[in-house]
Structure 1
Amino acid sequence: MLEIPVIDLSSFTTGKATARQTVVQQIYQACHEIGFMYLKNTNISHNLINQVLKQSKDFFDLPLAEKQQLAWTNEFSNQGYVGFERERLNPNNPGDLKEAFNIGKQKAIDIDVTDRLSPVFTASSSPAKNPHILNFYQACTELANKVLQAIALALELPQDFFTTNHNQQNHTLRLLHYPSLSQPPKLRQVRAGEHSDYGSITLLFQDEVGGLEVRTASGKWIAAAPIPDTIVVNTGDLMERWTNHVFCSTKHRVMIPNDHTLNQSRYSVAFFCHPNDNTEIVCLESCQRDKSPIYPPILAGEYLLSRLQATY
């Protein structure tokens, strides 16, 4: 597969059995062959997406000192502001030319401590307090569950297999800003270095600027250009481990443009879908028919921490 397919999700949600099965097969093929797809008719409104992109821009327009008051502090919480060049997704390259803000679900058991210690949840300027963004987090959770249901059926599992293993909502919503460039980048520096995502699936909402590239199985880089009225979805490392490489966790990157968009900021929002921390990621039986398990079992939470520690 040399092109990223566009899949209409509405048939899975409201269609008859044959139409649902067609969507399941399309998702299986996309996850197996390239690890990326565009979904249309997802029921997340344009208005809500635009509101989130606006709130993201408003936050990143704040003075750096104000944003740093909400700084990301450690991989255990994985929340807050991440400054320019702080993250290095490709360890062989200089720091990425982007800034970000991570938002996770606030666990009820931590509310009292968090309110005392973390301005990420309490500062008026924090996106974590914005109602549009909180509504968006919930809408992304619901969409991710639909995709996970389709993936479960594609792998001959009970429909609720993955949603049950994601019911603690350990997901991360990430606002991203790639600034316009007023000076040349460092050697090999890009907006987001070559990497794979850490969790099960990712939902990506991008503006019209573009720059995302995906590496095919043959090693060719292809553009994942913005397509109106669609959402990019890709499978991550834990889904690859779960499925014994039946589904792939594809490398991707965000490059610096070589046209007029060099002088434009790029904004995107990624929703990283993670299993419950105590979920054991062990090779699925339906994925062992042709080869033995590639990976030993690992807890989802342990894997995420190891990847975050390596990234920061």
Structure 2
Amino acid sequence: MDLARIPVLSLEDDRADLPARIGESFRTFGFAMVRDHGIDQALIDRAWELTRAFFELPVETKMHYHLAGKGGARGYTPFKTEVAKGATEKDLKEFWHVGRDLPEGSPLAESMAPNVWPAEIEGFEETFKQLYRRFDEVGAQILSAIAIDLGLDEKWFDPAIEDGNSVLRLLHYPPVGEGAGGAIRAGAHEDINLITLLLGAEEAGLELLGKNGEWLSVAPPEGALVINIGDMLQRLSNHVLPSTTHRVRNPEGARAGFSRYSMPFFLHLRSDFPFVTLPQCISEENPDRYPVSITADDYLNERLREIGLIA
């Protein structure tokens, strides 16, 4: 398996040329890596510890936090629920979603449910509210660099993501048994949202589909974030910034007996954001692929139906 040669950029040292460098990485891979992001390592370590503690709870306990009919938007989603678009086998994973706490009386409350928290895990709510805020802040920094690279004002995305429907997902891929059949930990897919910020997992397995049609391994250095373009930003940019297909393959040999944990932050637009293709991304060679505008919430629900999370 070849390694994706994604450059590792610094949010501290590369500020002046970050827009151009991160834009080049996104155009080449659909992915980028950043270090010096400022998220406290002690907070990250605590989050990993609490994530493991939750998924070690009995299934019966975890199911108390499964909100039927809510599409997994908050709380617990059980093992083998989600399916990659176009796939027949369900992913070998279970997950927990933390969303945004909206101000009282927000008009967005209809599309964004309140959070639920596991009473069994001390410090869970406090830790993940704090981590959510830090992901939110770092995500806004990345979007500022993207805006400049696209020829927009550096603050262009700020109102578009204010009270956005972003989700922090705590993921557990259990050990892979012999009964997995054709299923894998996460089938080949593209993310729905604007950008995804991913804290690296201890266990390998993340792969992106290269432009030559071959799978490339993604191996971030310790402490770095992996960032990838989602379909919403691909749509907004008229495919100037591509949403790259990726997957989590099954481990082999002795590693098949180990769990894998990861922690992606899916940065979303406001639910009422109207998609209008950026004029900077329309040309004679690249005509507007999306002349009909829909809202971010309409788009999200369309995609959630495709992956089996809502009916």
TM-score between both structures, scaled by the size of structure 2: 0.90
User: In the alignment, which residue of structure 1 is the partner of 2:163?
Assistant: 168
Return the alpha-carbon distance in structure 2 between the equivalents of residues 190 and 306 of structure 1.
24
Query: CA contact under 8 A between 1:75 and 1:305: conserved in structure 2?
Result: no
Query: CA contact under 8 A between 1:6 and 1:39: conserved in structure 2?
Result: yes
User: In the alignment, which residue of structure 2 is the partner of 1:307?
Assistant: 303
User: In the alignment, which residue of structure 2 is the partner of 1:3?
Assistant: 5
**2:264 counterpart of 1:270:** yes
Gaps of 5+ in 1: none
Secondary structure of residue in 1 paired with 2:157: helix
**2:242 counterpart of 1:248:** yes
Return the alpha-carbon distance in structure 1 between the equivalents of residues 238 and 133 of structure 2.
30
Return the alpha-carbon distance in structure 1 between the equivalents of residues 252 and 304 of structure 2.
31
Q: CA deviation at 1:181?
A: 2.3
Question: Which of these residues, 189, 194, 197, is aligned with residue 191 of structure 2?
Answer: 197
Q: Percent identity?
A: 30
Deviation string for 1:33-84 (max 9, x for gaps)?
2110111110012111111111110000000011001004334671111111
User: In the alignment, which residue of structure 1 is the partner of 2:212?
Assistant: 218
Question: Which of these residues, 111, 120, 123, is aligned with residue 125 of structure 1?
Answer: 120
Secondary structure of residue in 1 paired with 2:161: coil
Q: CA deviation at 1:120?
A: 5.3
Q: CA deviation at 1:123?
A: 4.5
Between 1:266-275 and 1:164-173, the stretch displaced more is 164-173
Q: CA deviation at 1:106?
A: 2.6
Question: Which of these residues, 285, 291, 298, is aligned with residue 294 of structure 2?
Answer: 298
Over aligned residue pairs, what C-alpha RMSD do you find?
2.2
Gaps of 5+ in 2: none
Return the alpha-carbon distance in structure 2 between the equivalents of residues 153 and 303 of structure 1.
25
User: In the alignment, which residue of structure 2 is the partner of 1:157?
Assistant: 152
Return the alpha-carbon distance in structure 1 between the equivalents of residues 92 and 58 of structure 2.
17
What amino acid is aligned across from residue 232 of structure 2 in structure 1? Answer: L
Query: CA contact under 8 A between 1:120 and 1:128: conserved in structure 2?
Result: no
Change (3 A) 1:227 1:209: same
Change (3 A) 1:171 1:119: closer
Between 1:287-296 and 1:26-35, the stretch displaced more is 287-296
Query: CA contact under 8 A between 2:269 and 2:296: conserved in structure 1?
Result: yes
Secondary structure of residue in 1 paired with 2:138: helix
